[in-house]
Amino acid sequence: MKKGRRAERQRCTRIFSSPYATGCPDMAAHLAFNTPLSSAAAIHTLKMMGVLQSPATRVSLDSRMRAEQQVRIGADGHQPVSGSASAIATKMKQLYNVTKGKKSWMR
């Protein structure tokens, strides 16, 4: 058992330390762990595959959202006509919010 484990570790080490394994480590892992190929055959397979092009770096959602032009509408997005009852009530709510703090029922 001990000899078999040592031989398998050496086989995996030879596969992973080959210069061809750096180009596609996922394929090197597949050949090392899921096939009965010798290390020489696995390295030859990696050599024949060549270096795979890595996919272009994907742009994160955060950076895409940062680049997006956004319109921000605040509480003053729709103001009532000045002098109307609605305008006076809005002004009173603003004064209340400044002195006491905003209440959730006052929108």
Location of structure tokens 């596969």: 15
Confidence tier at 74 by pLDDT (50, 70, 90): low
Q: What's the mean pLDDT in 4-27? A: 92
> What are residue 26's phi and psi, to 5 degrees?
-70, -40
Q: Give ∠ CA 15-17-22 in degrees, rounded to 5.
A: 95
CA 18 to CA 107: how far, in whole Å? 67
pLDDT in tens, 46-67: 999 876 665 667 788 888 888 8
Q: Give CA separation, 32 vs 50, 104, 106, in Å.
A: 17, 62, 66
CB burial of 69-80 (b: ≥16 within 10 Å; e: otherwise) equals eeeeeeeeeeee
Query: Domain ranges in the chain?
Result: 2-49
Closest to 15 measured CA to CA, from 106, 35, 2, 67: 35
pTM: 0.48
Please give the residue that has the higher pLDDT: either 80 or 77.
Answer: 80
pLDDT of residue 93: 87
Q: What's the mean pLDDT in 4-28? A: 92
